[in-house]
Structure 1
């Protein structure tokens, strides 16, 4: 991770720029990847990630569009991450900063992300809220999603934020929804009674559940529920951040 902390230096805003290279493995085969901030030049590649990850019948209007991507890189470029491999983009992760008032009561993906435009990004908040993590199917066995998550933790530490938060789908819930609540299902995943494709992944990334949100996202498999999954910055001191 390169660059000084996000803040004000000599009256000028300093933007954290990120560039890291890694070698990842799938079935013993190495692959070199690069994680960096996405930019205007990446619009086509970012939309292609969505298209490959969410093919029809998933509605194309729910993929990122150029207007949304422009908002991401101009409002909070530090939270706009992508992964390159073999000369193309293969994964991405996007977040914004929110404060406690934005999290009071219940919320949905649409309300907390401003329908994906993140115009509600609050630089003075203390929580980095993840609104999207995506890796194309061909590269999912390389552990790229976990490396994206780790990189966003580094952003949280670098910006001196208190935590990372986000709503995780529970796609396995529909199999048992007629016998238990979403909260009971989540507890069963935590105790290892069963595995959930999303929640188990987030647990392996170090995220911990702090609650369940109903009507979070239009998702038949999760019956519209999501688990709020948190990662706390172990270096957080509560001191005022630079530039806040």
Structure 2
């Protein structure tokens, strides 16, 4: 593996911290529609709002600039963070990996608990993909880049397969709300989240979680996250952040 070019003291960490903060803000903005409940409201209700035209503009702006963009930064940071720890403990891999596997198990457990409160949890998926990702830690940089490229392209093959199995797969269905499910009405979801007890809300979260995985699997999200993990590891191993940002920051 290529060794990183040394950077000025603290500079690399500051850049990564800045990216992490930027990504957290983006994830907040990307998920605010779901957390506020707006995503589940029927269109007939939203269209009655006095601010509908402005809300519609902001929604499209959010989709163009924010939606699905920031999980990619977080995925890169996951790969970067692993490389920094791995490189520091390169001479003692066995002990380090025991610790790292334990961290992944804790992350997975935390993600499972988080699912009780939010069906859009990403921590469990990161831990699951992380267990696979770390197996590639000792590969050559060129091999890592090839694996990342194949992982990026693989979701296209999933689309081809889905189209063969279901020709109407990519034809958008008429929706009653921004987020809909085949087996339940938007009104029912809103009613449970507004008026349901803890157990009812938990059941609804798991219902939504089930359908979320039905969306994630054909979309190839697991492969995309894995590709960005690999790419972040590759970029850090080859000093991309060190060289690029040292030139920008002086």
Shorter chain as normaliser: what TM range? Answer: under 0.3
Q: Which structure carries more strand by proportion?
A: 1
TM-score (structure 1 length as normaliser): 0.26
Structure with bigger RCO (C-alpha 8 Å, 6+ apart): 2
